[in-house]
Structure formats: C-alpha cells, structure tokens
Amino acid sequence: MSEFVKLEIGDGIGTIRLQRPPMNALNTQVQEELRSAAEEATASADVRAVIVYGGEKVFAAGADITEFTTTTFQEMTVRAAALSSAFDAVARIPKPVVAAITGYALGGGCELALTCDWRVVADDAKLGQPEIKLGIIPGAGGTQRLARLVGPARAKDLIFSGRMVDAEEALRIGLADRVVPAADVYSAAVELVRPYVNGPAMALRAAKQAIDGGLSMDLASGLALESHLFAGLFATDDRIEGTTAFVEKRKPGFTGR
C-alpha cells in the first residue's frame, strides 16, 4: 500500500496525488510509489486520462536533499537509473496526462511536471531547476525534457542559473500551457483532459507514441513510426465507429477498443 502517492479514479480520470507534507519532497520511496501509480494508471481500463497533482499548496518542491548529503558516488551510480526510470514511467503513460501545479515545482518537481503532456499552473506558482546551486544537475530528465520543450538556449538559462520562473514567464516560454488562479488549478486540469475520457483511446495512445517517439528520431524514422501506428488503427473498433459516424453525420460513440 502506497504511503505518499495515491491513484484516485473517478469519471474516467485518474489523479496521481502526491501526499508527503509539507513540500512533497521526492525521496526514494516517493519515486518508487510514483512508478507504481503510473503503472497502475497505464494498466487500468477505468483510467482514460491522468492528472498529476500535489494538492492545493504545493506541487513538489524537489528531491529530499537530506538523502543527497550522505549518498556516495557508488550508491548514486546504482540509484540514478532507477530515479530516471521512475519519472519515465509517468512520461510513458499512454493516455493524456496533465500536471496541475500549485505553489512550487522545483528540481524533481519541475522534472515531474515535464513528464506530462501539459502543465496547468497557478498564477502564483514558481517553477525551476535549482540543482546547480547544490553542485549537481537535474537527474530525472530535466536536461533532456526541458530542452525539448522550451529550446536549448532557454533550458541552459534556467539550468545554468538555477533561477525560478513565475507563471507568466513559464507561459511565455512554453513551460506552462495554462495559467489560472491557484484555487482553480485542479478544476482547470479536469476541464483540459475531460474531452479525452470518451475519446478514441487507441488513437490517442498512437498519437502520443508517434509524437513522443518521433522526437528522438530523424524525420525518416519518425515518418516510418507514424505510418506503422496509423495503419495499426485500422484494426480497431473505434476506427470503424469514427469513420462510419462521419459518413452518417452523427457523433461517434467510441469504446476505446
């Protein structure tokens, strides 16, 4: 039974909820519980979209630095891959995923937000990768996902300086997708993903795989991946329903099969 990370399911939406007050520090236990929650959300047919949420006060203020003060090089050599793969489990959820960010999303918290497809950010939130101030660098995907999202020059600015950005700047550089009052963050996240709950789940899965997978390939390989995934959808019930509904001029009733 998870202690700090819960998967709450309702109306087709799975909320991965961090509950380690006061700041949702991402220690080793939280990382592994995140992995488990992501795997559960991936496997559950009752989950059609996902929200990652830290609560009304804070998303996640980063790693548990007390662990770092005594961790040796040999220990981190073993742990670093597990840290990265725990966050990658969230990135690989084959469903629409949004981060609902209040308070702080710093260090590992920002990296967790980067694993999501979108970020809904409170107007008073702060985001950043301050690891450089500890003499280290982001180790859970920050150097890679941030650069792909906002471009290498902006990523270097944020990671080299370790500075925090407010919601307005995050929106301007593409780190945030929507900025809303803090009290509305979770409801805005629900609003964002709700249209996908009754959508064509297999097509959404294929679209996410094509986009995310293609980013690590050259154009020719990406196009080949797209063609493969496109053709595969012709084996689904939703393709039959979607195309038939279009011809019959009615709203499709997708089943996710």
Buried residues in 59-68 as b, exposed as e (16+ CB within 10 A): bbbbbbeeee
Residue 256 within a domain: no
Residue 30 within a domain: yes
> Do 113 and 233 belong together in one domain?
no
Residue 183 within a domain: yes
Could you list the pLDDT tens digit for every one of the 257 residues in the chain?
789 999 999 999 999 999 999 999 999 999 999 999 999 999 999 999 999 999 999 999 988 888 888 889 999 998 899 999 999 999 999 999 999 999 999 999 999 999 999 999 999 999 999 999 999 999 999 999 999 999 999 999 999 999 999 999 999 999 999 999 999 999 999 999 999 999 999 999 999 999 999 999 999 999 999 999 999 999 999 999 999 999 999 999 999 99
Q: What is the CATH number of the domain that holds 212?
A: 1.10.12.10
Catalytic residues: 63, 108, 111, 131
Q: Whats the size of the chain, residue-wise? A: 257
Instruction: Indicate the Cα dihedral angle 131, 40, 145, 103, nearest 10°.
Output: -50
Paired strand residues for 118:
98
- Give the count of domains, the chain: 2
Q: What is the CATH number of the domain that holds 104?
A: 3.90.226.10
> Do 165 and 98 belong together in one domain?
yes
- Check if the beta carbon of residue 253 is closer than 8 Å to that of residue 242: no
Residue 58 within a domain: yes
Range of the domain at 230: 201-247
> Do 17 and 139 belong together in one domain?
yes
